[in-house]
Amino acid sequence: MKIFVTNEKLDNWVREVAALCGPDAIHWCDGSKQEYDRLMAQMVESGAATPLRRRPNSFLFRSDPSDVARTEERTFIATPSKEEAGPTNNWIAPDELKRTMTGLSRGCMAGRTLYVIPFSMGPIGSPIAKIGVQITDSPYVVCNMHIMTRMGTRVMEALGPHGDFIPCLHSVGAPLAKGQKDLSWPCAPMEKKYVSHFPQENLIWSYGSGYGGNALLGKKCLALRIASAMARREGWMAEHMLITRLTSPAGRRYHIAAAFPSACGKTNLAMLLPTIPGWKTECIGEDIAWMKIGPDGRLRAINPESGFFGVAPGTSHKSNPMAMESVKQNVIFTNCALTDDGDIWWEGMEGAPPAHAIDWLGRDWSPGRKEPAAHPNARFTTPAAQCPVICGDWEKPEGVPIDIFIFGGRRSSVVPLVTEAFDWDHGVFLGATAASETTAAVIGKVGVLRRDPFAMTPFCGYNMADYFSHWFDMGDKLGGKAPRIFYVNWFRKSPEGKWLWPGFGENSRVLKWMCERLEGRAGAKKTPIGYLPGEGDLDLTGLDLPAENICELLKFDREAWKAEVPDIERFFGQFGDRLPERLKRQQRGLAERLEKDV
């Protein structure tokens, strides 16, 4: 279909892209259910999608084995100088990268339809939202964008004739000759995959991959890499954070934004079911937070997405019951196993595995096979509105006021269960030094300590030293209205390798302590690394946990922390003179406090 386009800039851009990419047809997406159903029916007919009999309006896709995850090594930031991109990004000069992308894109949509997707990151009309327009040749991407963003005619109306938008160009990189049969998952070889960002122009240009954040360009590409650079220029924040509301028995509301690296329980915390009587949580977002200072001087946050793009393996009614309830219908599953009764399955799901299934590669599978049935990065795309604990204010245009920031990581030792920062600058230091011990699923070599500041290492669209400075600047603007900052570690183990903390819903006990700290109703002891709960400060009512576990969880180990300092110094060293002086001061302060009693 062709909708009436009044925005000359958009019309010209679409014409330019069409002339370059050479599609057989152009379709302007209206965002309607009829459009979604029609595209999905086409993919079922072609064999790309499998309808799931057990889940209404839900479908399973299998990707090419070379196209299963974010391609960090093929993700590039193009800034005028390498220093502006910083040591944590893959840099290519803008002119060089544009020449490469132009060459790859010439004729890349031959035999395919070019889809134009106007979309809003955030509620349409929100003062925090931004409009993007993605061009793609993938109907799979269109259907995912239907779920993950607000898209179509309403966005075009909001854009109007003079509105600005972020251009996002995507192709699977697999042109079709006349009469050539298409693959069920077309993509380009790994060496031709590019996910390219041009922060100075707010431009995203992706080629060769049809998977996840490589292809759904509103997600990590726009919502974090480009938005982080925009946020720095414009004085707001784009963060890799969940947003949740915690309500006390007295009805007091607290809004929490939390950043965790992968495999650290982020989605679980976003949809937490508290075990403490009378406390209630509601999910606002489980992956990304955009935050601006409101008229009242407080930091207000929205979830820029409208769906969840979650990792399936490991998700169960025990680990995340609300996620499981969210995927009962209207879901796109990718790289999960298909059971004989027409349902999906993945490792970590409760109950016995199926006696037989078709694995993510389309092969027969049965228990005992060495290879997993579902790919470790298998995904579900589901509407956020389907989550049973979605907050009634999750689409509030002005956002919700953030009271607490939480950072965290996966550490078997050294880092206590929870630490409160001394002040904003110390909290920025905690975020900047966030670290996890790698798991096999993350990096291949188990137990290696990997620093991931603010859980933003793969997603910061400019030099991370400047990103640290931006956090300090935002704290200065917020002053006394800045959120309090905490650091958590749910993953402490005993010397015998057993978990010390039960996690999941019991994490609400730690959140309760944070809220009570805000109110001045919970105690703490001061240590060189921050404030820790003292004996009796955490509400452990009804929790059968040995006293030695609690002692170990809340222990400050001076010698272990002294050993941590050189690693922090090495990590900061890569940023050279660009590292903010305030962060250097925090580093020196920790070293000094560890050498003397507090």
Does a structural domain hold residue 577?
Answer: yes
* CB contact at 8 A, 335 and 68: yes
331 and 459 fall within a common domain: no
513 and 418 fall within a common domain: yes
CATH number at residue 575: 3.90.228.20
Mean pLDDT of 123-140: 98
Return the pLDDT at 439: 60
Domain coverage including residue 573:
239-303+394-594
Return the pLDDT at 597: 64
Return the pLDDT at 448: 85
- Cα distance between residue 415 and residue 19, in whole Å: 56
Does a structural domain hold residue 56?
Answer: no
Does a structural domain hold residue 63?
Answer: no
Domain boundary among the residues 188, 219, 234 is at 234
pLDDT of 368 > 50? The answer is: yes
Q: Which of 21, 108, 187, 264 is catalytic?
A: 264
**Residue 70 pLDDT level (bands cut at 50, 70, 90):** confident
Mean pLDDT of 75-93: 98
* Known catalytic membership, residue 21: no
Mean pLDDT of 202-211: 98
Could you give the number of structural domains in the chain?
A: 3
pLDDT tens by residue, 571-598: 999 999 999 999 999 999 999 999 986 5
Q: Which tokens is 386 given?
A: 């389907």
- Cα distance between residue 331 and residue 573, in whole Å: 45
Question: Which residue has better confidence, 439 or 571?
Answer: 571
360 and 423 fall within a common domain: no
Beta strands in 479-598 (DSSP E): 484-488, 525-527, 530-532
Does a structural domain hold residue 43?
Answer: no
Q: Of 334, 315, 313, whose CA–CA distance to 323 is shortest? A: 315
570 and 470 fall within a common domain: yes
515 and 403 fall within a common domain: yes
Domain boundary among the residues 386, 403, 419 is at 386
**Residue 3 pLDDT level (bands cut at 50, 70, 90):** low
Does a structural domain hold residue 58?
Answer: no
pLDDT of 447 > 80? The answer is: no
253 and 294 fall within a common domain: yes
436 and 535 fall within a common domain: yes
Does a structural domain hold residue 2?
Answer: no
143 and 252 fall within a common domain: no
268 and 415 fall within a common domain: yes
478 and 369 fall within a common domain: no
Does a structural domain hold residue 55?
Answer: no
Mean pLDDT of 323-341: 98
Mean pLDDT of 326-354: 97
CATH number at residue 373: 2.170.8.10
**Residue whose token pair is 């997406």:** 29
Return the pLDDT at 34: 98
**Residue 444 pLDDT level (bands cut at 50, 70, 90):** very low
pLDDT of 31 > 80? The answer is: yes
Does a structural domain hold residue 173?
Answer: yes
Mean pLDDT of 331-350: 97
Kindly give the pairing relationship between strand 404-408 and strand 484-488: parallel
295 and 313 fall within a common domain: no
Domain boundary among the residues 342, 359, 386 is at 386
pLDDT of 275 > 60? The answer is: yes
* CB contact at 8 A, 322 and 328: no
Return the pLDDT at 4: 63
138 and 200 fall within a common domain: yes
Beta strands in 248-319 (DSSP E): 253-259, 280-285, 289-293, 299-302, 307-311
pLDDT of 373 > 50? The answer is: yes
How does the average pLDDT of the chain come out, rounded? Answer: 96
